[in-house]
Structure 1
Amino acid sequence: MRSALLLFVLLGLFAPLGAQAYPWMIRHGYSSCASCHTDPSGGGLLTAYGRAQSELLLAASYGKTKEEVSPSTGFLFGAVTLPEWLNLGLSFRGGALVNRASETTNVRPVQMTSDVRAQATLGQFRANGSLGFAIRRARAAALTSTETNNLVSREHWLGWDNEAQTLTVRAGRMNLPFGLRNVEHTSWVRERTRTDSNDQQQYGVAVAYNGEGMRGELMGIAGNFVIHPDIYRELGYSGFFEVAPRSDLAVGVSSLVTRASYDVESRQPLFWRQAHGVFARWAVTKPLVLMAEADMLVNSSRDQQMGVGYTGLLQADVEPIQGLHLLVTGEALRPVGGTGVNVGAGLGAAFIFLPQVELRVDGTARRLDSGSGSTTDVLSVIAQLHLLI
């Protein structure tokens, strides 16, 4: 078991690695996300253009050349015609998870998102929001306060675009602009920087720019108003800047600094949290896209001196035929204040067999180093269905 796990980790760390869900759209010349998503930095609700591309470029073609978009790419597979000013979408991601740590194996169903997303647009102004249901977790986005079965709103904001639609100003609850916006919210680069799209959104004001060959967003963080009491809310900023010197290559930098009276996770007083890093996406060939992110983690508090750690992600997305994706991932993490280095690797396959309908299976192995000479091996397998209709 140990030798097989080590081989699995090494395979993930040294194989070619790339982008996922869907930063790998750079293989089609899309270095920016704003044309396909209502969020100017990517993710969440699709625009009408994004729905069309999901059929033309993402879904399996079954040997046929697609030249026209079918009505089924619309809301509820085209069953409902929406007015031009209204954009609606339903998102579901769920399946089954198997975890094995030491000698214990746990199998359970998982439900990651069950959200209704909407945007109303009036001229240069728009209002965007989501409402969903979470059986467990996602507590930092919950509108209700029970232990399980909560209503959640991951995003809700008001925005304004300039006439050229290159500049967007938003206020409300938003995803933090930082690094690669990958769907794997449990990856260490998302988990340890607290920038995942599951429930780590914050309230604040953000300015995003999407121009020819460059994009970026800077957000002033006012805190997560879902968290009580307010001594646990963070104040600060988060932002990224990315340049695309070619249509198949984009590189960027990220920075985040926050301060809280007490940290919501460690409960340390006067807690400063920082993350600074670089990321890149590269379409080596059309079938192969490489993605990487490396972040330095810095924490300090009134009771603890400054500590430094780091985390990194490497991932390859290979698309041998349209709609079928093979994924290889490697991760590393040195926790702030820790002495050991944790490593992880993953193998996965995703099949977008219909527009906005995806089946995916991932196996992930992690070796956790306590720093005292002992390690713990954790293996997980997740099978999931993703609907974005």
Structure 2
Amino acid sequence: MRQSLVVLFLFGLLVSPRAEAYTWMIRHGYSSCAACHADPSGAGLVTAYGRAQSELLLAANYGKVKEEVSPSTGFLFGAVNTPDWLLLGLSFRGGALVNQAGSADPTVRPVQMASDIRAQATFGQFRANASLGFALRRARLAALTTTEANNVVSRDHWLGWDNENQTLLVRAGRINLPFGLRNVEHTSWVRERTRTDTNEHQQYGLAVAYNGEGFRGELMGIAGNFLLKPDEYRERGYSGYFEWSPKTNLALGVSSLATRAAYDVDSRQPDFWRQAHGVFGRWAVGGPVVLLGEVDLLVNSSRDQSAGLGYTGLLQADIEPVRGLHVILAGEALRTVGGVGTNVGGSLGLAFSFLPQVELRVDGVMRRFATETGGTNTLSILSQLHLLL
């Protein structure tokens, strides 16, 4: 096990992944994501303002106070100047993963979760946004090619229109589903079981997002994932959320999602209805602590099975004792629809933004999966380096 951890750490230093949205930015009074991200609900391509905040607010300053943004926050660390109408970003996510299930020997494997180039062109009130990347494995639901591995992927691509004061954005294309916390932990059950992570579960459709003073929301009509074939497996329906910020350090929201597919892509059940409805919140408690939480009710039904209920929840504490260093504690629960019991998990993570747009992170996750005879335990340790160029 000791050798596995050494390999994990070294590989994590050498392989770099993609930066994401940080829902704990409410610590700095940012309840909205639209100022820092091209996607108004967060994640993905970062604006010039967002790049600046990575230096002024996020990265370790080693005791020095910066009042001006250095050119290195620009594209390719400032090596290339882009015009005001063009946003560009190179993003990577990868590292190494140690897994141990029950009494079996631990396994160590490299992971490459995303290697993407992202771009947005803005002309007046119109936007064109797209990403193109490469995936060694998985991400099949975002793949433009159809091989078993080594696929070209496009996680999102859309056309949009803003109103004059940029509080309203109407988009059409392949879009991240608006639902719950847009958190970086894509394998958390609240993202995995609602199928709302930003790795591969984007859908095609029409979305309307609003970001106003004290509240924001987005509603999307889902037309299906056109990269998934045949058409019988594509989901149609809606997804949306509304979030209210009564204070600059507090945001409370509700989410709702409902889709239907002729056949479910995971279970292959016919005439499959999938629903998720929940609440979420973000609270900068004070000092270095931010609490993030989400609870979702899961509802599934099909032609062969009547409606069944499940639930999932996440409570996370982000503690920043010194600037740039984060201690991340989380607990989660999951009762699958038709499951025999409640699965529980806990995690401890350390994240260090030692340079602007560069973050080293190590997470340990322990989960217990309920079975008819008791339960099984799994332990995962993930090391990764987040880098945005």
TM-score by length of 2: 0.94
Where in structure 1 do 4 or more consecutive aligned residues deviate above 6 Å? none
Q: How many Å separate the matches in 2 of 1:301 and 1:50?
A: 43
Q: How many Å separate the matches in 1 of 2:133 and 2:386?
A: 15
User: Is residue 2:291 matched to residue 1:302?
Assistant: no
For 2:141, the aligned partner's letter is A
User: Is residue 2:239 matched to residue 1:225?
Assistant: no
For 1:349, the aligned partner's letter is L
For 1:382, the aligned partner's letter is L
For 1:64, the aligned partner's letter is K
Q: How many Å separate the matches in 1 of 2:234 and 2:187?
A: 22
Q: How many Å separate the matches in 2 of 1:94 and 1:368?
A: 26
Please name the residue that 1:139 is paired with: 140
Decide whether the 8 Å contact of 1:96 with 1:107 is kept in 2: yes
SS of the counterpart of 1:104?
coil
Please name the residue that 1:337 is paired with: 338
Please name the residue that 1:93 is paired with: 93
Q: How many Å separate the matches in 2 of 1:98 and 1:258?
A: 35
Cα deviations across residues 337-357 of structure 1 (Å, max 9, x unaligned)? 113100000000000011100
Decide whether the 8 Å contact of 2:292 with 2:317 is kept in 1: yes
Q: How many Å separate the matches in 1 of 2:113 and 2:69?
A: 29
Q: How many Å separate the matches in 1 of 2:197 and 2:29?
A: 25
Decide whether the 8 Å contact of 1:220 with 1:236 is kept in 2: yes
Cα deviations across residues 55-86 of structure 1 (Å, max 9, x unaligned)? 00000000000100000000000000011111
Spell out the pairing of 1:165-204 with structure 2 (5 A cutoff). Answer: 165-204=166-205
Cα deviations across residues 118-150 of structure 1 (Å, max 9, x unaligned)? 000000000000000000000000000111110
Please name the residue that 1:379 is paired with: 379
Please name the residue that 1:83 is paired with: 83
Decide whether the 8 Å contact of 1:28 with 1:286 is kept in 2: no
Please name the residue that 2:246 is paired with: 245
SS of the counterpart of 1:305?
coil
Structure 1 position 113, deviation (Å): 1.0
Please name the residue that 2:35 is paired with: 35
Spell out the pairing of 1:313-324 with structure 2 (5 A cutoff). Answer: 313-324=314-325
Q: How many Å separate the matches in 2 of 1:267 and 1:94?
A: 31
Decide whether the 8 Å contact of 1:23 with 1:182 is kept in 2: yes
Please name the residue that 1:264 is paired with: 265
Spell out the pairing of 1:116-131 with structure 2 (5 A cutoff). Answer: 116-131=117-132
Structure 1 position 21, deviation (Å): 4.7
SS of the counterpart of 1:231?
helix
Please name the residue that 2:278 is paired with: 277
TM-score by length of 1: 0.94
Please name the residue that 1:12 is paired with: none
Q: How many Å separate the matches in 1 of 2:177 and 2:280?
A: 15
Decide whether the 8 Å contact of 2:218 with 2:240 is kept in 1: yes
SS of the counterpart of 2:106?
strand
Q: How many Å separate the matches in 2 of 1:345 and 1:35?
A: 32
Q: How many Å separate the matches in 2 of 1:84 and 1:316?
A: 37
Stretches of structure 1 lacking an aligned partner (at least 5 in a row):
1-19
Alignment length, in residue pairs?
369
For 2:92, the aligned partner's letter is F
Please name the residue that 2:50 is paired with: 50
Decide whether the 8 Å contact of 2:98 with 2:108 is kept in 1: yes
Q: How many Å separate the matches in 1 of 2:73 and 2:245?
A: 29
For 2:79, the aligned partner's letter is A
Decide whether the 8 Å contact of 2:370 with 2:376 is kept in 1: yes
Cα root mean square deviation, aligned: 0.8
SS of the counterpart of 2:185?
coil
Decide whether the 8 Å contact of 2:46 with 2:89 is kept in 1: yes
Decide whether the 8 Å contact of 1:30 with 1:247 is kept in 2: yes
- 1:280 and 1:347, CA in 2 relative to 1: closer, same or farther beyond 3 A? same
Q: How many Å separate the matches in 2 of 1:340 and 1:216?
A: 34
For 1:252, the aligned partner's letter is G
For 1:26, the aligned partner's letter is I
SS of the counterpart of 2:197?
coil
Please name the residue that 1:159 is paired with: 160
Spell out the pairing of 1:204-219 with structure 2 (5 A cutoff). Answer: 204-219=205-220
Please name the residue that 1:71 is paired with: 71
For 1:38, the aligned partner's letter is A
